[in-house]
Copies of this chain bind each other. A is one copy, B any other.
Amino acid sequence: MKVAYLGPNGSFSEEAALKTFVDSTIDWQLCGSILEVLEAVGDRKVDKGIVPIENSIEGTINITADGLLANNLFIESEVIFPVSLRLLVNEGVQLEDVQEVWSITPALAQCKEFIRENQVKTKEFDSTSSAAKALKEQGRIDAGAIASSAAARLFGLQIASTKVQDNGENHTRFLVVGKRSADVLPFHKRNKIMLLIAPALDQSGVLSSILNVFSALSINLTWIESRPTKKRLGTYHFFIEAETGKDEAKTGKALKILRAFGHEVQVLGSYDTNRL
């Protein structure tokens, strides 16, 4: 089986992928961007892909949400992955030597208090691991990289601090996706379902009327995200994730009612949760 994820080696996506698929025969495909992962699955170059959809600090990763639709993918499971950021430095470098920290924008945003307190400058990289790699290659003794312990091991860097994150708890939610095929049931015995709902009319109160359908059926919503339709500013469709608790009859009823209202409803996946 071929599985794609967002590289480079040492990325959080790699860690999540390796822990999710514990099969030594997998043919891993490293991709340069989230969109490349989704396209590889969409174009059937790989069997599955694993991509981040949401982080507890940064929120939804829009490129993933939009890419799911563009590539006609189906969500097969979700994986909750704890993210621990570390300050990595070259050998012998002390925390107080660090004048500049390198990382990807969201990681820098997650370490704002550390950055303010230590009055360090920041430099943005494409990924946490490319920051770590550059730090090692340039042998800089006045800079540090904010990345994972895995990146420290991979590039031979030391951990100068484990207390760089503003919030103790930081999780990233990954989705395992496959190509949507005709024989996949729109929903089956899984705990969660992901829907894309395009409202019938761009009318006042349309979102509350949609949400009321779920309320009325006592279906708990776990995630809602509005995304632009890309047709006109101010027009949206909604990603809605619901805990259907394997109740197929109730799920079917909700879809039927929503469609009877005239909304366009697409099932993007049905899945269980896997906590790493």
Contact = CB atoms under 8 A, between A and B. Distances in A.
Interface residues of A, number: 49
Q: What is the count of identical protomers in the complex?
A: 2
Contact of A56 (B57, B208, B233): B233
Contacts of A220: 204-205
A233 B276 CA distance: 14
Given A211-B211, A232-B56, A204 B226 contact: no
A27 interface: no
Contacts of A54: 228, 233
Contacts of A63: 105, 109
Interface in A197-222: 204-205, 207-209, 211-212, 214-215, 218-222
B171 A233 contact: yes
A230 B109 contact: no
Given A56-B228, A169-B233, A222-B234, 7 more contacts: A66-B109, A169-B232, A171-B233, A205-B214, A205-B215, A224-B226, A225-B226
